[in-house]
């Protein structure tokens, strides 16, 4: 080792000592593990429900059909059923739900599970429900609606609100 290198080392050691520092040492490493977990539970939610709009019509002398979509999301593998309530119209039944308009007048309508209008959609009996199994993603379900031929009430806008019930 040259005398210049020795002097540099001595000077460096003196500076460390004067500052109250010791020479750098090798760091030690300790290891361990961290457990991580999540528990997924069965859950469903109504993501959206589009308005079932029958449009504008004059006389109700023929059936008026329309469709809408409701979207639900359930955890993967979760079986569910979807029921639709009778609506808020006074005197509503599964066979004749009621949209209410001016002066309390009503327009009857029905909701169906199928495009052939053969399976009514309600929430009282298992046969009235739509069933499926969640896949973790949003799932669209079509609602088929019909305003049957009936005596046409006064001009105005007729509305109703139907509860959606997802059981899982």
Per residue in 64-100, pLDDT (tens digit) is 999 999 999 999 999 999 999 999 999 999 999 999 9
Domains of the chain: 44-167 (2.60.40.1090)
142: number of Cβ within 10 Å: 13
Per residue in 20-60, pLDDT (tens digit) is 555 566 899 999 999 999 999 999 999 999 999 999 999 99
Q: Which residue has the tokens 């599964």?
A: 94
Name every residue whose Cβ is closer than 8 Å to that of residue 51 and which is 6 or more positions away in sequence. 68
- The enclosing H or E element of 48 equals strand 44-49
């Amino acid at each position: 080792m040259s005398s210049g290198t020795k002097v540099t080392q001595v000077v460096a050691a003196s500076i460390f000592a004067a500052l109250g520092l010791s020479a750098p040492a090798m760091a030690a490493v300790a290891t361990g593990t961290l457990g991580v977990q999540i528990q997924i539970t069965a859950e469903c939610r109504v993501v959206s429900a589009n308005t079932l709009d029958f449009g504008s019509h004059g006389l109700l002398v023929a059936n008026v059909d329309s469709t809408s979509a409701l979207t639900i999301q359930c955890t993967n593998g979760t079986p569910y059923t979807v029921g639709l309530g009778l609506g808020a119209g006074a005197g509503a039944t599964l066979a004749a739900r009621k949209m209410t308009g001016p002066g309390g007048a009503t327009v009857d309508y029905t909701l169906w599970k199928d495009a052939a209008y053969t399976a009514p959609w309600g929430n009282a009996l298992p046969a009235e429900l739509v069933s499926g199994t969640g896949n973790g993603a949003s799932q669209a379900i079509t609602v088929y609606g019909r305003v049957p031929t009936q005596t046409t009430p006064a001009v105005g806008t007729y509305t109703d609100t139907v509860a959606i019930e997802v059981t899982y």
